[in-house]
A and B are shown apart, each in its own frame.
Chain A
């Protein structure tokens, strides 16, 4: 994996983690 590809993959893994966190937060905020 090149350095460029690794940077993009790390960025997207962080986005996935942020998305899961935001989804759980949003669900809790709306339903409670």
Chain B
């Protein structure tokens, strides 16, 4: 269902998307910079505890690291929730790769040129490789879908491919009979529910199993409740499903 984002509710949704995405990106940025600050002093630091730390952390960095990770995680979920709810093109696919590729870059840069200047830090280079794989894997897997989304090259999977619910044939046959009985119905009757459009021609509407009949009645009730069919059409279709005479 396409939601209308041009009205007031759209501004709220747009605001939530903006704020949540900005905070996720800010969190990744803070974690990226904090990690570099720690690597500048050798990659290990400590604070608190009963002992005097040999290498204290840079001011504020532990707070930024912990806060950034938690803030980023929470608002990443909020961002994904909003873009899924609003069904808008988004950058959710890029969050995980952005985090791991940026941190992997830190490992690569400081691994090739460690702060102490003692050649190459192999431990950090191994971390760089691991992080690049973790970031690139999902990115490469997501790229085709991202391209389809942005270019509109291929439609999403058709509802016809979905398993057809029980009773769909009965509803589709009833729907078709209503539509054919009204010359102008094509402009006034909504499309039937997904999965109810490919019923075979000529199948008796009321000849299904009991479960089919119940499902057909439920779907008919849905059409009536949503205003797709009026009271008379509802009664006619119900009688058909139940095998009535009218």
Q: Which residues of A contact B (CB under 8 A)?
A: 1-2, 4-5, 8-9, 11-12, 14-16, 18-20, 22-24, 26-27, 30-32
Contacts and interface: CB of A to CB of B under 8 A. Distances in A.
Contacts of B60: 30-31
Contacts, number: 83
Interface in B149-197: 150-152
B29 A19 contact: yes
The B interface is mostly helix, strand or loop, or mixed, namely helix
B25 interface: yes
Could you say which interface size class chain B belongs to? 20 to 34
Given A8-B17, A22-B22, A23-B28, 18 more contacts: A1-B89, A1-B152, A5-B150, A8-B90, A9-B89, A9-B150, A11-B18, A12-B17, A14-B18, A15-B22, A19-B22, A19-B29, A23-B26, A23-B33, A27-B29, A27-B30, A27-B64, A30-B60
